Structure 1
Amino acid sequence: MSQMIDKESLKHAIKAVWIRSLTEIQPDILEGLQNARDTERNERARQYLDIIIENAQIATRNGTVICQDTGVPTFYIRTSLGFPYQDSFRDAFDEALREMTLKEFPMRSMVVDPLTREERGDNTGENVPILHVELEPGLDYMEIMAAPKGAGSGMWSTMTVLPPSAGAEGIKKFVVDSVLRAGSNPCPPEIIGVGVGGTAAEVTHRATLASLRPINVRNSKEEYAQLEKELEEAINLSQIGVMGMGGDTTVLAVNIEYSGAHNPWLPVAVNINCWPGRRAVCRVYADGTVEQV
């Protein structure tokens, strides 16, 4: 009989990748910030970029949170039906967040009941942590991406349904208007995730995934990659700048993900990620080995 992954081992991996997502700046984000610092023409914006970069490097080095808003715990899981784990996913993630918050890691409790505002005090709630599971045949590991979604940027997310005739120009107008409406509130420079197509639920999901894609990776389809580039250039003309203080760098990237759309409509969603672009990935293998990716 093949070895089985037990719940305690999975919880250990969950805790490690969650803490990394809160404390480590990813290489693509750091490179994007440094490139922005090198090309920024506004002196005040350059000074703020220096502070941001230093903050991220200190947090990574010391294992402290990059931002005090540790967000809603959100995880994207890829695995196969044959992966040797048979316990409860929900229990593993709930227990991991509860133990970290109450005993093991200095992390604010950010999750409340949406109506009564009551909280458990442990970063869990109804359907939280949020778990997205995708089954992929042939995988010999379970991949976990941790993605803290804070309110400072998350509350500026938008969604609409355009007529198909709006086309690319309609998408561009809606995305640019959404970013201008948010102004300095999402702590720019931002990573803008754009979802196009699908249903109302799917398009917001795609926008969130887009906001988590590495900022040095363009959409694989030429039309969408070109639209990403045009949106990035247009938004940076706004001169909102770093922390809203003016300058050339309002966004580090605009990423688009899309799904097939129903013929009569064109859904579009925008998910704004603040400058740390917080995410981390690990892989748990069938022999119990955990790889931090």
Structure 2
Amino acid sequence: MQVDLKEVEEACKQLYIRALKMLPDDIKQGIAQLKAIETDARAQVVLQTMVTNIQIAERDDNLLCQDTGLPIYNVKIGSNVQVDGMALKAAIRQGCERATREYPLRSSVVHPITRKNNHTSCGIEMPAIHLDFMADAETLVIEMIPKGSGSENNSFLKMAIPAEGMKGVKAFVIECVVAAGGKTCPPTIVGVGVGGTSDQCVALAKKAATRPLGTACSDTDGALLETELSAAVNHLGVGPQGLGGDATAFAVQVEVAATHITMNPVAVNMQCHSARRARATFTPAGLVYGY
């Protein structure tokens, strides 16, 4: 399959806008499920306010949140997809810039030293573009995730040692959720990475935090850890927006990688209740948008 880079550029523009305005169904259902079992009256009010915000954004074709986030594009390429990799990255970047200029959106991206904002949502190594490959030979998938600073600021890494065991991993995750409090705009998706190298572990936590709700870690032990931590986190009493209640997190989601015998890194990355994402799937039959 030959990829039309102009189509990719336009899709990446649309993905940014779609992600900022339309919350995926699994997240809306997650809020409804938490609201149905919340026992704290104030937390019920906060959750209903979130529901109202989502409804108004959809009704008025407006943004879910003023924070347009750091733009992240996850790209999966089928084995029979023909595309120039550098040209593909350039098309993604151009689409991101066009979304910010043409919509227009607030650019949240600045130079890390000078703090200069070019008002394009782009800069050095930004948008973040992650390339991977997939078995579906005739398919190209581009997922766009705008990651807000409230959730991204609450990122943690510990280079644990094996002697600390899973008790140490669980304690670290709990400590991170408590430390984050309401700063992540809970209820959150708590992403946890276990294993790998230090940088790989942090990337795994981000992958876990941005997975759709209802999905499970492909590793059996990782999936068990998800279940145990999800129950523990919602007994902390942090609650929606950190104001108390049962609904601290939609879920704790885990990704794992093999690691060295003398270490066991664990990372935490959180996603706020407005867990935005959008997806474009290119096949020989055409382009389809989704989540």
TM-score, normalising length: structure 1:
0.94
Q: CA deviation digits over 1:43-82, x for unaligned, max 9?
A: 1111111110121132234331111101111011001353
1:88 maps to what in 2?
87
2:97 maps to what in 1?
98
Structure 2 letter corresponding to 1:94 = R
2:123 maps to what in 1?
125
For structure 2, the 5+ residue unaligned runs are none
CA distance in 1, matches of 2:142, 2:59: 23
1:275 maps to what in 2?
273
Further displaced range: 215-224 or 26-35: 215-224
Further displaced range: 8-17 or 36-45: 8-17
Q: Which structure 2 residues correspond to residues 36-47 of structure 1 after superposition, within 5 A? A: 36-47=34-45
Secondary structure, in 3 states, of the residue corresponding to 1:278?
coil
C-alpha displacement of 1:274: 0.3
Q: Which structure 2 residues correspond to residues 68-217 of structure 1 after superposition, within 5 A? A: 68-86=66-84, 88-103=87-102, 105-217=103-215
Structure 1 letter corresponding to 2:129 = L
Structure 1 letter corresponding to 2:70 = V
Q: CA deviation digits over 1:92-147, x for unaligned, max 9?
A: 122112222112x1310111111111121111101111100002244211101111
CA distance in 2, matches of 1:19, 1:123: 12
Secondary structure, in 3 states, of the residue corresponding to 1:261?
coil
CA distance in 2, matches of 1:50, 1:255: 24
C-alpha displacement of 1:242: 0.6
Structure 2 letter corresponding to 1:142 = L
Secondary structure, in 3 states, of the residue corresponding to 1:148?
strand
CA distance in 2, matches of 1:232, 1:11: 38
C-alpha displacement of 1:218: 2.1
RMSD in angstroms over aligned alpha carbons? Answer: 1.5
Further displaced range: 63-72 or 15-24: 15-24
Kept in 2, the 8 Å contact 1:219–1:255? The answer is yes
Structure 2 letter corresponding to 1:99 = R
Further displaced range: 202-211 or 85-94: 85-94
C-alpha displacement of 1:187: 0.4
* Identical positions, percent: 33
Indicate yes or no: 2:288 matched with 1:291: yes
Further displaced range: 207-216 or 226-235: 226-235
Kept in 1, the 8 Å contact 2:17–2:99? The answer is no
Q: CA deviation digits over 1:146-172, x for unaligned, max 9?
A: 111111111010001101121211110
1:48 maps to what in 2?
46
Change (3 A) 1:246 1:284: same
Secondary structure, in 3 states, of the residue corresponding to 2:75?
strand
For structure 1, the 5+ residue unaligned runs are none
C-alpha displacement of 1:267: 0.5
Secondary structure, in 3 states, of the residue corresponding to 1:113?
coil
Q: CA deviation digits over 1:215-265, x for unaligned, max 9?
A: 212223332222112211211111111111111011111000011111110
Q: CA deviation digits over 1:196-216, x for unaligned, max 9?
A: 110011001100000011121
1:31 maps to what in 2?
29
Further displaced range: 72-81 or 196-205: 72-81
Structure 2 letter corresponding to 1:89 = L
CA distance in 2, matches of 1:7, 1:224: 38
C-alpha displacement of 1:35: 0.7
Kept in 2, the 8 Å contact 1:13–1:284? The answer is no
C-alpha displacement of 1:90: 2.3
